[in-house]
Amino acid sequence: MIKIQRANEPEILKIKGKNKRRALCDTYTRYQQDYDSGQRKFRFDNKVYAHQSVKQTLKTMQHNKCCFCESKFSHIAYGDVEHFRPKAGYKQNQQDTLHKPSYYWLAYQWDNLLLSCQICNQRYKKNLFPLLNPTVRARNHQDSIEDETPLLINPTKVNPEDYISFRQEVAYSIDDNPYGEVSIDGLGLNRTELEEKRREKLNILLRLFDILLQSQRFPDDVKLQDIAKDIKPIINDMIAPQAEYSAMTKAAINSY
């Protein structure tokens, strides 16, 4: 996971999204008891929050990578528009029962939208949204989310590399901080398939390092020096924001 710079809000959210939000808040105010008891359920329009312009803006903003695991997936899947604060129901932990209503008023809020791969979103995060102090959770649009401290890392709000690093291909929580621990576990950032993909990239990096070391040992080898010059920009590309698993690659470079 790397820091993501939030792009400008798509026009559809500025107009239709705000109208949808207003309608949701009005109907909740009118039928609050029914929504709180579960007799009524919110209906959300994915043609607005997952509009093509929204998804494309998110893809560009995230360098065509999943906001959580840094995998590129657009060649095999469409990806999910992920609500950081869940719109329909929430859980404090995966074993918790599903609580409703959830953050319905943020369903079309640009600051609450990310793009993730289906595995991160549908297999792991789902409705998970744990707070450091669950007693201050916002229950409806009249409450403020400013008092909340989410345990899941929002890569548009903080730099994930302050909380999560890597030992080879395995993610770990820096100084055992709770934000890193919950994010790694809750998002499945050490799932077997993902570790295997990161290991493939790490092996390439280690081979490149070996060549660079050889070039230092044999400074008079002109051919080896030329190869070393070509390798340095390749390594720079591997840690660029648009590269898969760039956070792991940077951690590996720092450790070596």
The full DSSP string for 162-218 is GTEEEETTEEEEGGG-HHHHHHHHHTTTT-HHHHHHHHHHHHHHHHHHHHHHHHHH-
- In this predicted structure, what is the pLDDT of residue 71? 97
pLDDT given for residue 102 in this prediction:
95
Measured CA to CA, the distance from residue 58 to residue 81 in angstroms comes to: 8
pLDDT at 84: 98
Q: Is the pLDDT of residue 30 over 80?
A: yes
pLDDT of the residue at 55 = 96
Using the predicted structure, report yes or no on whether residue 75 has a pLDDT greater than 90.
no
Find the angle CA(77)-CA(81)-CA(87) to the nearest 5 degrees: 140
pTM for this one?
0.92
**Buried b / exposed e across 106-141, counting CB within 10 Å, b at 16+?**
bbbbbebbbbbbebbbeebbbbbbbbeeeeebbebb
Region 89-97: mean pLDDT is 94
pLDDT beyond 80 at 150? yes
Taking a C-beta distance cutoff of 8 angstroms, is the pair 132, 178 a contact? yes
Q: Is the pLDDT of residue 74 over 90?
A: no
Q: Write out the two tokens for 120.
A: 């991160």
Backbone angles phi, psi at 65, to 5 degrees: -120, 155
Rounded Cα–Cα distance for residues 88 and 112 (Å): 13
Task: Compute the distance between CA of residue 83 and CA of residue 127 in angstroms, rounded to an integer.
Answer: 9
Share of the chain above pLDDT 90, in %: 87
Residue 110 pLDDT level (bands cut at 50, 70, 90): very high
CA angle in degrees (0–180, nearest 5) for 76-81-85? 140
Calculate mean pLDDT across residues 88-100: 94
pLDDT one-digit tens code per residue, 41-70: 999 999 999 999 999 999 999 999 999 999
**Three-state SS for 135?**
helix
